[in-house]
């Protein structure tokens, strides 16, 4: 049975000598880790772990995993994805989307012409950017209300608003 896992953070590096690790959040709801019954390291291997505690240190989330009690053990976790099953994800508000659900959507221009698909999401620290592939080659679309008019996950479509210069070279 394959789990439907989603990345909520990436482990950056050890913090201190007692096994804590620094995290780079991939969600606005990182506190979901504390309430999650199932937490896994890695999308592929899906190694189950138990979170002992989480805290903030200088605006950086720190996490302590059960059984990781020293800097050497914590070092083995560097670069690992912290994942939870879909059913553990925080509920969304109206008009909110999980970025991973946008990958693969067909992209239509404001006139309804199919122009490509969302290949991956570029995290910029601000507005996420949809990296799309299609007829005009690779093109970038900011995931903002100015650029994106409609998202229909059931139909697998994303319709762009008319925004001068958005698709021109």
The mean per-residue pLDDT over the stretch 109-124 comes to 89
- Domains 5-88 and 99-160 fall in the same CATH topology: no
Long-range contacts formed by 114-120: CB under 8 A, 24+ apart: 115/139, 115/167, 118/158
CATH no., domain 99-160: 2.30.30.240
Q: What is the pLDDT of residues 4-58, one digit of tens each?
A: 888 888 999 999 999 999 998 887 777 777 777 788 998 776 789 999 998 989 9
Q: What is the pLDDT of residues 57-100, one digit of tens each?
A: 998 899 999 999 999 999 999 999 998 888 887 777 887 888 88
CATH no., domain 5-88: 2.40.30.60
- Angstrom distance (rounded) from CA 39 to CA 127: 27
Residue 94: what pLDDT?
A: 82
Give the pairing type, strands 137-142 and 148-152.
unpaired
- From residue 100, give the alpha-carbon distance in Å to each of 29, 115, 135, 167: 15, 20, 23, 23
- Angstrom distance (rounded) from CA 131 to CA 122: 7
Supply 53's token pair.
Answer: 């505690």
- Domain positions in the chain are 5-88, 99-160
């Amino acid at each position: 049975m394959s789990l439907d896992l989603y990345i909520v953070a990436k482990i950056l590096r050890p913090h201190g000598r007692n096994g804590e690790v620094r995290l780079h959040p991939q969600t606005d709801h990182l506190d979901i880790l504390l309430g999650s019954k199932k937490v896994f390291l890695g999308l592929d291997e899906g190694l189950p772990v138990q979170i002992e505690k989480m805290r903030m240190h200088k605006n950086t989330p720190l996490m302590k995993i059960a059984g990781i009690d020293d800097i050497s053990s914590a070092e083995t976790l560097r670069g690992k994805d912290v994942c939870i099953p879909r059913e553990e994800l925080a509920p969304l508000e109206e008009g909110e989307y999980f970025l991973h659900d946008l990958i693969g959507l067909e992209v239509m221009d404001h006139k309804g012409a199919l122009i490509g698909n969302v290949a991956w999401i570029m995290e910029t620290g601000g507005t996420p950017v949809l990296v799309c592939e299609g007829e005009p080659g690779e093109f970038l679309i900011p995931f903002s209300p100015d650029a994106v008019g409609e998202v229909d996950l059931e139909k697998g479509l994303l319709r762009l608003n008319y925004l001068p210069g958005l698709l021109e070279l």
